[in-house]
C-alpha cells in the first residue's frame, strides 16, 4: 500500500513537472515570437532621441512599426518617407525648428538617424501642442489642422480630448499605434 501511494505521488509530481515545462516552453516561444514581431531596431537612435525630446520609446517604436515596419526606404502613396513616414511639408516644419540653417534635404528622411530625430521631435511637439498622446497621434496621421478642428468641435471633443475621430483610417491608426505601444511596454518593460 505504501509503495502504491509512493508511485501515485511520483506520478502526480511527474505530471505537474511536465505541465510546468510545457507552460514555460509555450511562454518562452510566445515571448520569442512577440519579440521578433515587435523588434527594437535602431535602439540606440530611438533611445537617444526619445530621451532628448521626452518621448516614450514604446511610442516611437509603435509609430515606426505601424508606419514602415522598420523599413528605412519606405515611401507612402502621398510621398511620406522613411521609418516614421514624414511628408515633405512636415519635414520642412521640423527642420525650421531643429536646424533652420542646415542644408539637410528631404532625401535625408531615408536615413534612419535623421528620420528618427525628426519623427521623435514631431511626436514631442504634437504631444505638447495637443496635450495627450491620443490627440498627438490624430495630428500625426490626419494633420495639425484636422486635430485642431476636431478639438474645437463638441461632436468630437468636449474636454480637450478627441473621443470621436471622424476619419476611419485615422481612428484605426490611433487604435493600432496604441495597441502596438502597449505591446512594446509589456515586452520591454517600459
- What share of the chain in percent tops pLDDT 70? 84
- Contact indicator for 151, 142 with CB cutoff of 8 Å: no
The pLDDT, as a whole number, for residue 26 is 41
Least trusted range by pLDDT, from 12-26, 53-67, 79-93, 135-149 = 12-26
pLDDT tens across 123-136, in order? Answer: 999 999 999 999 99
This prediction's pTM = 0.84
Give the separation between CA 12 and CA 190, rounded to whole angstroms. Answer: 39
Bridge-partner residues for 81, per DSSP? 75, 86
- Contact indicator for 42, 28 with CB cutoff of 8 Å: no
Average pLDDT over residues 17-39: 64
* Radius of gyration from C-alpha coordinates of the chain: 23
Contacts 24+ apart (CB under 8 A), 164-170: 165/138, 167/142, 169/141, 170/138, 170/141, 170/142, 170/146
Per CATH, is 41-188 categorized as 3.30.70.3420? Answer: no
The pLDDT, as a whole number, for residue 16 is 52
What DSSP letter does each residue of 79-93 carry, written as one string? --BTTTTB-HHHHHH
Asked if the model's pLDDT at residue 66 lies above 90, the reply is yes
pLDDT tens across 72-100, in order? Answer: 999 999 999 999 999 999 999 999 999 99
Mean pLDDT of the residues in the chain: 90
SS3 content of the chain, % helix, strand, coil (to 5): 70, 0, 30
Q: In the chain, what are the domain boundaries?
A: 1-37, 41-188
For residue 38 the three cell numbers come to 515587435
The pLDDT, as a whole number, for residue 33 is 85
Amino acid at each position: 500500500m505504501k509503495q502504491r501511494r509512493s508511485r501515485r505521488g511520483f506520478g502526480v509530481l511527474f505530471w505537474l513537472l511536465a505541465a510546468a515545462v510545457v507552460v514555460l516552453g509555450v511562454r518562452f516561444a510566445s515571448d520569442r515570437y512577440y519579440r521578433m514581431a515587435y523588434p527594437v531596431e535602431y535602439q540606440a537612435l530611438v533611445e537617444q532621441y526619445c530621451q532628448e525630446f521626452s518621448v516614450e520609446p514604446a511610442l516611437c517604436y509603435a509609430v515606426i512599426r505601424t508606419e514602415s515596419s522598420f523599413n528605412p526606404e519606405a515611401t507612402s502613396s502621398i510621398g511620406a518617407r522613411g521609418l516614421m513616414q514624414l511628408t515633405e511639408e512636415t519635414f520642412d516644419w521640423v527642420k525650421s525648428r531643429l536646424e533652420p540653417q542646415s542644408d539637410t534635404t528631404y532625401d535625408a528622411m531615408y536615413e534612419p538617424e535623421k528620420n528618427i530625430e525628426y519623427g521623435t521631435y514631431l511626436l514631442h511637439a504634437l504631444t505638447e501642442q495637443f496635450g495627450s498622446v491620443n490627440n498627438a497621434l490624430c495630428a500625426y496621421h490626419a494633420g495639425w489642422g484636422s486635430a485642431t478642428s476636431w478639438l474645437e468641435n463638441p461632436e468630437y471633443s468636449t474636454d480637450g480630448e478627441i473621443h470621436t475621430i471622424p476619419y476611419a483610417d485615422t481612428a484605426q491608426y490611433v487604435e493600432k499605434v496604441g495597441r502596438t505601444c502597449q505591446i512594446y511596454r509589456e515586452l520591454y518593460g517600459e
